[in-house]
Structure 1
Amino acid sequence: MKKLLFIVMAVLLLLTSFLGQVRADELMDMFSIRVTIEADEEVYQWKYDSPDYYEFQHEDRVLRAEEAKTQVDNMAALINVNENVKAETLAERIKDEFPKLESMDIRWRNGDSELYTWRWKKNDQPVEES
């Protein structure tokens, strides 16, 4: 009886360590992006969390899921973030669509769960953190 109990406990221990590894691997594949800009005295926000959370907000109007997907995809394509891009470059890309850009805050978590942050404000020095 003790031997059976020992075997069952050993199997459970192995299973829990395996499941923990699977969850950690899933997290490695996840990433997110948050973009907040102020332009023309209005605030815009785009949010994405892997695998399928989309949100777009412009002033009091909030779109989620499929309604927001196009907006979020368009902004992600416009800014085209990566680990080496500079805040000034991102601001210039955004100015293509929002010429009166006053400020921007971009937070991006890559597939390795590393967080990158870029901040830019008109007439201030840009901020980049990783």
Structure 2
Amino acid sequence: ELTGAYGVVLNAPTKNELISEMKERLDIPIIITIVSEKEDFESRIKAGVSIFNVSGGANTTNIVRQIREKHPYFPIIATGGPTPESILETIRAGANIITYTPPPTGKIFSEMMEVYRHKITEELSTNK
């Protein structure tokens, strides 16, 4: 905390007792990863969690929705999924922040190179 930490992210299996101990000693947000709708959200909040980080795969939107119904103002970070539609669905479910894993660099560059090749081929064809 004294060297510039802005928060701490804990994995889903972290026990509430440890969260409570950390909350007593730290003055930064504690973020817990939520992977199931069966999680006891209330006990996590009581233990000292400041933010939920929902990472439930295909079930993320449902988990976000359940949290939001019970805790309308609690901060939620959530994985948005692979498509613009899934990201919007997660936002509509109540996520405040979306985390996104972009496509690998190789895929991005291969798509760019394909556009370049097509453009150059067209230009060379029209210049003949």
The answer to which structure has the higher helix fraction is 2
> Shorter-chain-normalised TM-score: which range?
under 0.3
TM (normalized to structure 1)?
0.25
What TM-score, normalized to structure 2? Answer: 0.25
The structure that is strand-richer by fraction is 1
Bigger relative contact order, structure 1 or 2 (CA pairs below 8 A, ≥6 apart): 1
